[in-house]
Amino acid sequence: MTKIRTLIHVSLTTAIVAVLGTGLLVCGTAQLFAQVGTGAIVGEVQDPSGGAVVGARVEAVNVGTNETSTAITNKSGYYSIPLLKPGAYRLSVQAKGFKRYFQQNIHLDVATTLSVNAKLSLGEVTQSVTVTSAPPVLETQSSQLGEVITNKSIENLPLDGRNAYGFASLVPGVIAPSGFSQTAFDEYNDQFISINGSRPNENTFLLDGGINSEPAFTGPGYFPSVDMVQQYKVQTSNFDAEYSNTGGGLINVVTKSGTNQFHGSAWEFFRNTDLVANDFFSNHAGLPRAQFRFNQFGATLGGPIRHNKTFFFFNYEGLRWVQSGSAIGTLPTAAQRAGDFSQTYDAQGKLIPIYNPFTTRPDPNNPGQYIRDQYPGNVIPASDINPVAKQLLDYLPLPNQPGQPLTGIGNYITNFSSPIHENNFSLRIDQVLPGNQRLFVRYSINDTTQTRPNLYGSSNPNFVISSPTAGNDFLRQQQVTINYTKPLTSNLLLNLNSSYVRYWIGRQLPGYGFNPTKVGFPSYMNTLAQKYPPCFPSIDISDMGLSLSLGNIGGGLMGGGCYKEPLIKSRFRVIGV
């Protein structure tokens, strides 16, 4: 039987915020605009005496795309240009009776409101004053705390596995396990992070202003490739009202967009068996190195479709990773399978007694307690061995090592390889529309397969069925964001943002579909199989089973569970401001 679980989160808020030219603007008008995946430039325009310049035209031009956003100063000389893509800008201020003012080298970060003030000089508008020094980056318009991880840091700092979210652990107040920064190939170990003491499932992940938190763990629903990330901001406290659904922190990622020039990159990171050493346990058992290969490769390309109008950015990253590991544990010996425990000792060399359960009786000397007799010679007679247990032993291999001298612990060792194939695609289109309207859409998809090993080998079909592994996975992550911005008047702006994230896992364990009646379980199991999926039973015995050097593979003695499960988790959000 197939289990499907669907979780859908819908949040819908639609509003138009009209900002009037009053003294309220001076107190922080830009904060009234949602800028989840964008930034804002605000400031005051003054004359040489420090008085407010009313009606000045302020233009912010994106250096890469020549997109222009405008604002008019109010009666207090204040202007606000919200909803700007993070990047490099130049600012110009024009007013009658004053020289034109230019401010260059403005760098705007995501979720940041940057103050750029201008003091105009008397003169003709055909004259100009150009300031080339960068304005101070101190953010005075918001009390929220956070840190921006820049593109330079993302691309140049060492990052084993190229998980773009890994740098979040460098921010004060962020506590993340090692799994959070690992190679993002599965969707379990890289989900959890605590910000300022919050629970790991209380954070919100955003991608280009759209939701990227999957609803099960509230971790990232899609992991963007390092080379497609422009920057991101880890916001730890004092969030503005535009942010919701978080009791912890926000990780706000912005992807790259195309510009008027073509840019691209290509990369390959690799390791293989010849570059790694054998592990201790395989060496000790005389086993050769298991196959290991790590190839992480990809390319990006971005540029204009139509200059100053339409831009694209495409990213691909592939992963071909053959993990190698070892498993060590203890399996029943041939004598123990026959019921002979006469050579089964503990670490002190004492015989571990095996008692006959059929001789259990009240202890006459200790009311309320029971006693039972040890099997003669510590050997269980064949007539007392359960027929189901006897058949199940046919699904376990014999030990392949002598184990420790007294106890025989560690009498089975094997090494293995686990292949992982990943293909990650993303495409973003930006469009400048007439009347300073802007539209962008980005679609990202990541497909991953992980093949887990048969820990007992493939020489016997029974050993494949009973292998204590977590099964093979197919994973699909999808995220799409659409954003539209339109200036309605000089002080009225419409912004619509819609996003969707889908998180899918399909898994089948090796024992799925096994009929338990084959090993002697009662026939009513066939009736249960009409409602529940049949499978090989999961069995553990104290001090027996396998321990693995790699996580998320499996472990134990026999069986891995009774399911073949597609797990679908979706989240959808529409916001209009």
Which range has the worst mean pLDDT, 272-286, 291-305, 502-516? 272-286
pLDDT of residue 159: 81
Tens of pLDDT, residues 357-400: 999 999 999 999 999 999 999 999 999 999 999 999 999 999 99
Q: What is the pLDDT of residue 568?
A: 59
Residues 549 and 415: their CA atoms lie apart, in Å, by: 9
pLDDT band at 20 (very low <50, low <70, confident <90, very high): very low
Taking only the tens place, the pLDDT of each residue in 415-428 is 999 999 999 999 99
User: Which stretch of 19-23, 197-201, 560-564 has the lowest confidence by average pLDDT?
Assistant: 19-23
* pLDDT score recorded for residue 567: 57
Q: Which amino acid is at 346?
A: D
Per-residue confidence band for 566, with pLDDT thresholds at 50, 70 and 90: low
pLDDT tier, 574 (very low <50, low <70, confident <90, very high otherwise)? low
Q: What percent of the chain has pLDDT over 70?
A: 88
Q: What is the pLDDT of residues 525-563, one digit of tens each?
A: 877 767 777 889 889 999 999 999 888 888 999 987 776
Per-residue pLDDT, averaged over 81-104, amounts to 93
Q: State pLDDT tens for residues 463-482.
A: 999 999 988 889 999 999 99
pLDDT for 503 equals 85
Range 56-70 average pLDDT: 94
Q: Tokens for 183, please give them.
A: 């190679």
Residue 453 has pLDDT above 80, yes or no: yes
**Which residue reads 């979720």 in tokens?**
111
pLDDT confidence of residue 196: 87
pLDDT for the residue numbered 180? 77
> Stretch 441-446: mean pLDDT, rounded?
97
Please report the sign of the dihedral spanned by the C-alpha atoms of residue 171, residue 172, residue 173, residue 178: positive
Task: List all residues 6 or more positions away from 370 whose beta carbon is below 8 Å from its beta carbon.
Answer: 360, 361, 362, 363
What HEC string does 172-193 produce? CCEECCHHHHCCCCCCCCCCCC
pLDDT above 50 for 7: no
Q: Would you place residue 13 in the very low, low, confident or very high pLDDT band (cuts 50, 70, 90)?
A: very low
pTM of the model: 0.82
What is the DSSP annotation of 338-376? TTB-TT-B-TTS-B---B-GGG-EE-TTSTT-EE-PBPG
226 pLDDT higher than 60: yes
Please state, rounded to an integer, the average pLDDT across all residues of the chain. 85
- What is the phi/psi pair of residue 146, to 5°? 180, 180
Q: In 328-346, which positions are buried (b, 16+ CB within 10 angstroms) versus exposed (e)?
A: bbbbbbeebbebbbeebbe
Cα distance between residue 443 and residue 434, in whole Å: 24
Q: Give the pLDDT band of residue 341 (cuts 50, 70, 90).
A: very high
Q: What is the pLDDT of residue 529?
A: 66
SS3 428: strand
Reported as a pLDDT band with limits 50, 70 and 90, residue 14 is very low
Of the listed ranges 26-30, 164-168, 520-524, the least confidently predicted one is 26-30
Other Cβ atoms less than 10 A from the Cβ of 289: the count is 15
| Nearest alpha-carbon partner for 328 in 544, 173, 97, 152 | 544
Give the pLDDT confidence score for residue 51 in this predicted structure. 94
Helices (H), 134-185: 151-156
The predicted pLDDT at position 139 comes to 65
> Mean pLDDT: which of 23-37, 210-224, 438-452 is highest?
438-452
Alpha helices by DSSP H, listed for 433-552, are 461-466, 524-528
Q: What is the mean pLDDT of residues 114-121?
A: 93
Domains parsed from the chain with CATH numbers: 21-131 (2.60.40.1120), 145-255 (2.170.130.10), 263-329+413-576 (no CATH)
Stretch 123-142: mean pLDDT: 76
> Kindly report the CA angle at 7 between 4 and 10, in degrees rounded to 5?
150
Q: What pLDDT was estimated at residue 128?
A: 81
Residue type, position 86, single letter: P
For the segment 10-35, the average pLDDT, to the nearest whole number, is: 34
Average pLDDT of span 184-204: 78
Q: Does residue 116 have a pLDDT over 90? A: yes
